[in-house]
Amino acid sequence: MDMFTGLDDAAKGIPRLTDMQAALRLTGAQRDEAKWGLIFISPWLIGFALFYFAPMIVSFLFSLYDFVLSAPDEARFVGLENWRRMLAEDPNTWEALFVTFKFALISLPIGMVSAFLLAVLLNSKHLLGRNVMRTLFYAPTMVPLIAAILIWSRVLNPQTGWLNQMIEVTGIQAVGMDGLRWLDDPNLIYIAYTFIGLWGIGNAILINLASLQGVPTELYEAASIDGAGWLRQLWSVTIPMVTPVIFYNLVLSVVGLLQYFIVPYVLNGGNGYPEGSTNFYMIYFYKQAFPFQNMGYGATLAWFMFIIGLGITIFLFATGRYWVYYAGENK
């Protein structure tokens, strides 16, 4: 079932009227149908106009003003000054973008590969108690993010945390102030944040799993007859067949990572600790717009984030044609 199931030709603007009589008779019914359709979607339509469309436009207008919320009367039009300042003068913007992308490059592949591999594991016919296992692997995703962060921040404690103590058992020196200081070391912090993120991949696992179950068994049988082993089947049959889901997860993850905020905010209040490595873009936007109440500059940062997100999404959709497989599509 694709996104547009149920949208017939009429909705796509292709007239289907064959004779005048029918056209006249149908128009009344169609008009009635259109009226009711609009009535039913009106909650969303009004909400969209009020809380998406209008604020987006106003947000852009805000970006042309020097406007501090506590002194609305002193707002003045500055043209593209905010944009110039953001792109050319403010080193924090680029630092925040750099930090966000650096984290994304570490966390995104780890998260997506883990979700895929866990789905493969949970789909294995050799796994006993599959349903119980699936439920248990999903459970951490149900843990409220704040609770997860608070627990992880203690699990990652260099001295009393269980992670270092478990690593120590394998013979690697991890415990102690000269051991693995996950949340204090700028070289480890992204890995630590990625661990916390791994507690939220349940949805990605489930969607991968559903997609794996949809791969026709004939394909595996055919590959097996051709002498393909397990790994070869995974690479040449499974992965191409689940690329739509990988693509979907990728788009959602990228959009989510641009807005990465809660973990650094809860762990250090958004102060960038350690050594500015957690000055994410959304943290910077939050500080400008809310604690500092810089509505004009905040709106500029938000619009820039939107443009970057849109750019990446368009890029992904454009390149997706080359690596995402859709069944029933001719190549």
Site for another protein in 27-66 (CB under 8 A): 30, 33-48, 50-52, 54-56, 58-59, 62
Residues 88-117 binding another protein (CB under 8 A) are none
| CA–CA gap between residue 45 and residue 56 (Å, rounded) | 15
Q: Of the candidates 96, 118, 189, 283, which one interacts with another protein according to CB under 8 A?
A: 118
Q: How many angstroms separate the CA atoms of 161 and 182, rounded?
A: 10
260 — phi, psi (to 5°)? -60, 120
Among 22, 98, 113, 124, binds another protein (CB under 8 A): 124
The span of 80-88, 89-97, 119-127, 215-223 binding another protein (CB under 8 A) equals: 119-127
CA 25 to chain centre: 48
Contact 257, 104 (CB under 8 A): yes
Return the residue of 108, 180, 198, 324 that touches another protein, per CB under 8 A: 198
On whether the CB atoms of residues 65 and 291 are closer than 8 A, the answer is no
Segment contacting another protein by CB under 8 A, of 5-13, 85-93, 105-113, 184-192:
5-13
Single-letter amino acid, residue 289: A
Which CB sits closer to another protein, 185 or 261?
261
Q: Is 172 near another protein (CB under 8 A)?
A: no
- Residues in 258-277 that interact with another protein by CB under 8 A: 258-259, 261-262, 265-266, 269
Q: Which of 80, 113, 172, 252 binds another protein (CB under 8 A)?
A: 252
Site residues (CB under 8 A) for another protein, limited to 279-318 = 282, 285-286, 289-290, 295, 298-299, 301-303, 305-306, 309, 313
Interface residue with another protein among 116, 190, 199, 280 (CB under 8 A) is 199
> Least distance (Å) from another protein to the CB of residue 144?
5
Task: Name the residue among 122, 112, 141, 118 with its Cα closest to residue 243.
Answer: 112
| Cα torsion through 119, 322, 313, 47, rounded to 10 | -80
Amino acid (one-letter) located at 105: L
How far is the C-alpha of 54 from the C-alpha of 95, rounded, in Å? 31
> What minimum distance in Å lies between the beta carbon of 107 and another protein?
17
Within 223-242, the residues that bind another protein by CB under 8 A are none
Alpha-carbon distances, residue 196 vs 121, 182, 262 (angstroms): 21, 12, 11
